[in-house]
Structure 1
Amino acid sequence: MNYFVAQYLYAPDSEQIIEIRPAHRQWLGSLLDEGKLVGSGPFTDGLGGALIIIRLPKSATLTDAEELMDNDPFHKADALAGRSIREWNPVINVFADPEA
């Protein structure tokens, strides 16, 4: 499996984020059901933003991860102040691989 980390930037009090959050969480739930979501959640330091970790097949590329994350309602509504997606290698891996 290949792992990717998406970091979202947004204001903690963004009305647009608050409004779209239920659809965003529903979309994340669908990724969880598909075995693609490892974990997600907002930062707790009061500055806003969130981190999402996904797992895709070994053949997946950064472009594949970006295309998947483009389906997030936050992204579709242009509600994010910034987003970065990077391939990640969990050397010490506590994440269960559903194909193992």
Structure 2
Amino acid sequence: MARFAVELVFGPDNEKRLAVRPAHREYLASLVEKGVLLVSGPYADDTGALIIYEAADEAAVKEIIAADPYTPAGVVEWRIREWNVLMGSWL
């Protein structure tokens, strides 16, 4: 399994994003239960968020993102980067 740092950049329609956020967070909670989502949270300046996923490959992460309620709502931009963890408690 590989780890992926996924950055969400919030779009300009804050009202729509906030309306979808409860469903987005429910979806993320289901991924925590499955061991797919390791950590997530918004930036302090509320311009976006960071999510760390564990998945087989980038294609699997893209499937996870496609199922996130934020995707069909079009309220965020997704940036995916495979991440090689060298140190820390996740090893």
Given residue 88 of structure 2, which amino acid in structure 1 is its aligned partner? Answer: N
Aligned to 2:22: 22
Q: Aligned to 1:93, what secondary structure does the other structure show?
A: coil
1:25-44 correspondence to structure 2 within 5 Å: 25-44=25-44
- Unaligned residue ranges in structure 2 (runs of 5+): none
Q: TM-score, normalised by structure 1?
A: 0.82
> What TM-score comes out, normalization by structure 2 length?
0.90
The number of equivalent residue pairs is 91
* CA shift for structure 1 position 13: 7.2
Counterpart contact for 2:4–2:53, Cα < 8 Å = yes
- String of CA shifts for 1:24-67, please: whole Å, max 9, x gaps: 000000000101110000000x25100000112xxx12111111
- Of Structure 1 and Structure 2, the greater helix share is in 2
Give the distance between the partners of 2:51 and 2:79, measured in 1 at CA.
10
Matches within 5 A, 1:10-89: 10-11=10-11, 14-44=14-44, 46-56=45-55, 60-80=56-76, 82-89=77-84
Structure 1 gaps, min length 5: none
Q: Is the 8 A contact 2:20 2:70 kept in 1?
A: yes
Offset at residue 93 of structure 1 (A): 3.4
* Percentage of matched positions with identical amino acids: 36
Look at both structures and tell me which one has the larger radius of gyration over its CA atoms.
Answer: 1
How far apart, in 2, do the equivalents of 1:47 and 1:25 lie? 15
Which structure features the higher share of strand residues? 2
